[in-house]
Every structure is written in structure tokens, then in C-alpha cells.
Amino acid sequence: MNGLRVYTNPQSQETQGGYGVFYCRREDGPYYRWYYEEKLSQWRVARVHSSDFSPGALCTTNWKVVPASLRRSMVDHYQE
């Protein structure tokens, strides 16, 4: 995915549904927060505003550590 950056917040060590919480942003676009919804067995996404969290606390994450199911969800999200 060209221009897509994936992040985690190592300061908070967020987890949900047994997976870590991820953030992403494409180029200068909005930030999105991804978390796993255990009851639905799927990744959920919500747009977040920089006033709701600290973008400076995020660290870039290697695409290879992102779960495969989340990678598919992110690709689908940005193709729409």
C-alpha cells in the first residue's frame, strides 16, 4: 500500500480482543484506530482526531508484524 503508515502506541501498550491496537494514516490524511472486536471476530476501525490522542506518542510499525487479517482489512478500507 503506497503511502500507508502503520503505528502502535508503545507507551500505552493497548490491546483489545487479544491483539494489539494499531493506528494508520495514509500520506497527510486522517488517523484511524484499528482494534479487534472479539464478539464479531473482525477488525473494527474508527477515525480518530489528533486532539483525542497524541500522534507524537505513536511509533511506526513494520507491516510484517501486522496480523494478516488486519492487513486485508486495511487494504479493503483504503480501496473503497
Q: What is the pLDDT of residue 1?
A: 60
What range defines the domain where residue 25 resides? 4-79
Residue 58 to residue 32: CA distance in whole angstroms? 12
CB 7 within 8 A of CB 50: no
Each residue's pLDDT expressed in tens, for the chain with a length of 80 residues:
678 999 998 887 777 777 889 999 998 899 999 999 988 999 999 999 878 888 888 999 999 999 999 999 999 998 86
Residue 42: its pLDDT value, please?
93
Closest CA to 57 of 4, 7, 19: 7
> C-alpha distances in angstroms, 15 versus 2, 29, 44, 76?
27, 24, 13, 22
Number of domains in the chain: 1
Residue 78 has a pLDDT of 87
